[in-house]
């Protein structure tokens, strides 16, 4: 067959091939032989090809596993080498003396001077919550069988503020009694309907919170006994739209026989967390909820400390609760007296560091547990040596001092026939104790002078 093919190619090159038929006739027998031979070999070729492909696949899998094993072994060796190097480096560092890095010198940051900005404070004293006590007072006023309501709560919880708001909201005529001189005839006038619609007895206790106050007045106890005796003979249902309110720290035992009858007792609780947060908002304090919550929890809903804190932040710290870090000592959890002392100490050391007359006036006012007229206060400034700087040359007017302390929430001003000033009991007790501790002789002398003048 190969000879025929070679002969065909040579003749084709020489141009001697008129037709390929002779050559195909010669090749055809050989092609038949090749086809016969392939038919015999084909089954074996297909079978062996499949086997070879299977072997190749197995070999590929084995090769991949071997490559993966080599990579894992290499990684394990690298990790072991790095761990060994780390142990050697730590061992070498442990044997060397420690190197203290130099401390960078940071320039001291000067805080901006604290200046008063009362623009954030509300025009009027804000009011939040207390819906249930207000509803109870409304019901007592409408009940003809209720004559007396004893409002009981600790100092600073908000007894006086509650009564003030209730009287203003209802538009009632009220008579405020803060001295025993008016209690002598109050019981008889109330029973005879000769007194205003509401009579408020406030600021007098049968027992003082401590012995720093000047007057230990038994007038409230006497008033309660007289009132109980006169109400015992009064016909039931004769007290509609009339009410006597007694604001005290402790229940009055003299009125215990009238409980459930002529007398009702209303125990005032601290502000709730949402009410305390709202009060700070009303006082011009702004911030995130996360900033308010720890402060509110530390104050435990005490109305006075929340008010003093809110006014302090609003006036002197841009009204931002984010500045509470500068008041960390003030915001520490503790007793109410401790927190009030922290607030007043902050005023003295930071806010009033260059204004000594503010704490001096507060110390003088701590002598009086009743509202004292401005003219009377100026008279005592002349007679008590400690208070002479308040009226000396160059001293600010009483109006400026009063306005500043009133905006801080430390001073209550009663606009009667003439302005009368009074400190909250917690503030008064703090300055009285401080004066007695630092200047016992001056305290005793001032106490004797004013005690004789103001004894009822």
Average pLDDT of 207-225? Answer: 54
Inform me whether the pLDDT recorded for 216 exceeds 50: no
Tell me the two tokens of residue 227. 């009132």
Q: Band of the pLDDT at 16, cuts 50, 70, 90?
A: low
Pairwise CA distance, residues 145 & 260, whole Å? 10
The pLDDT value given to residue 285? 84
- pTM check: above 0.75: no
The larger pLDDT score, comparing residue 430 to residue 322, is at 430
Least confident span in 174-178, 216-220, 318-322? 216-220
Check residue 286 and give its pLDDT: 84
- In degrees, rounded to 5, the angle at the alpha carbon of residue 88 between the alpha carbons of residues 82 and 93 is 125
Residue 455 has pLDDT above 60, yes or no: no
Question: Poorest-confidence range of 111-115, 185-189, 381-385, 446-450?
Answer: 111-115
Q: Say if residue 7's pLDDT is above 80.
A: no
**pLDDT higher than threshold 50 for residue 113:** no
**pLDDT tens for residues 400-422?**
878 888 888 888 776 656 677 78
251 token code pair: 């229940």
Q: Is residue 137 over pLDDT 50?
A: yes
Partners of 419 in beta bridges: 415
In this prediction, residue 415 carries a pLDDT of 60
Query: What angle do helix axes 440-454 and 425-438 make, rounded to 10 degrees?
Result: 130
Give the whole-angstrom CA distance, residue 276 versus residue 292: 9
Percent of residues, the chain, with pLDDT higher than 70 = 74
Band of the pLDDT at 211, cuts 50, 70, 90? very low
pLDDT surpassing 70 at residue 226: yes
DSSP assigned state of 350:
I
Average pLDDT on 44-69 reads 82
CATH tag, 131-267: 3.40.50.300
pLDDT on residue 187: 58
What b/e sequence results for 157-179 when a residue is b if at least 16 CB atoms lie within 10 Å of its CB, and e otherwise?
bbbbbbbbbbbeeeeeebbbbbb
Domain boundaries, the chain: 131-267, 273-454
Average pLDDT rounded to a whole number, residues 310-317:
84
CA 56, CA 62: separation in Å to the nearest integer? 10
Question: For residues 15 and 353, which has the higher predicted lDDT (pLDDT)?
Answer: 353
Q: Would the pLDDT of 184 be above 70?
A: no
Counting beta carbons within 10 angstroms of the beta carbon of residue 34, is it exposed (0 to 12), middle (13 to 18) or buried (19 or more)?
Answer: exposed
Measured between alpha carbons, how far is residue 133 from residues 93, 143, 146, 178 in Å?
Answer: 71, 15, 15, 22
SS3 label, residue 126: coil
Contacts of 286 (CB under 8 A, 6+ apart): 319, 320, 321
């Amino acid at each position: 067959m190969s000879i025929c093919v070679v002969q065909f190619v040579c003749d084709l090159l020489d141009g001697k091939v008129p037709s390929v038929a002779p050559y195909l006739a010669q090749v055809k027998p050989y092609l038949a032989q090749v086809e016969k031979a392939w038919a015999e070999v084909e089954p074996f070729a297909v079978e062996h090809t499949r086997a070879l492909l299977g072997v190749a696949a197995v070999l590929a899998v084995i090769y991949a596993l071997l490559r993966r094993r080599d990579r894992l072994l290499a990684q394990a060796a690298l990790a072991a080498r790095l761990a060994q190097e780390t142990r050697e480096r730590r061992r070498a560092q442990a044997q060397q003396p420690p190197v203290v890095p130099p401390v960078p010198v940071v320039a001291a940051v000067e805080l901006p001077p604290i200046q008063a900005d009362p623009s954030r404070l509300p025009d009027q004293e804000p009011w939040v919550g207390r819906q249930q006590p207000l509803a109870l007072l409304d019901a007592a006023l409408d009940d003809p069988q209720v004559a007396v309501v004893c409002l009981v709560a600790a100092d600073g919880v908000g007894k006086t503020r509650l009564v003030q708001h209730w009287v203003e909201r209802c538009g009632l005529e009220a008579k405020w009694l803060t001295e025993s001189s008016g209690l002598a005839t109050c019981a008889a006038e109330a029973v005879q309907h000769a007194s205003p619609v509401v009579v408020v007895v406030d600021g007098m206790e049968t027992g003082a919170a401590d012995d720093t106050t000047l007057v230990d007045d038994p007038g409230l106890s006497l008033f309660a006994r007289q009132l109980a005796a006169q109400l015992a003979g009064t016909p039931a249902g004769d007290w509609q739209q009339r009410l006597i309110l007694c604001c005290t720290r402790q229940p009055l035992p003299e009125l215990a026989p009238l409980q459930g009858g002529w007398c009702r007792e209303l125990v005032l609780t601290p502000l709730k967390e949402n009410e305390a947060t709202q009060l700070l908002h009303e006082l011009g304090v702004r911030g995130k909820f996360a900033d308010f919550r720890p402060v509110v929890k530390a104050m435990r809903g005490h109305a006075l400390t929340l008010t003093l804190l809110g006014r302090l932040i609003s006036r002197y710290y841009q009204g931002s609760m984010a500045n509470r870090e500068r008041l960390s000592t003030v915001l520490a959890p503790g007793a109410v007296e401790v927190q009030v002392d922290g607030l007043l100490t902050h005023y003295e050391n930071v806010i009033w560091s260059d204004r000594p007359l503010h704490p001096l006036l507060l110390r003088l006012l701590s002598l009086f547990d009743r509202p004292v007229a401005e003219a009377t206060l100026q008279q005592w400034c002349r007679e008590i040596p400690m208070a002479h700087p308040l009226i000396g040359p160059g001293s600010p007017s009483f109006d400026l001092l009063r306005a500043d302390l009133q905006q801080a929430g430390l001073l209550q001003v009663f606009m009667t026939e003439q302005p009368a000033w009074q400190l909250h009991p917690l503030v008064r007790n703090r300055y009285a104790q401080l004066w007695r501790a630092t200047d016992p002789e001056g305290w005793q002398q001032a106490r004797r002078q004013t005690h004789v003048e103001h004894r009822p």
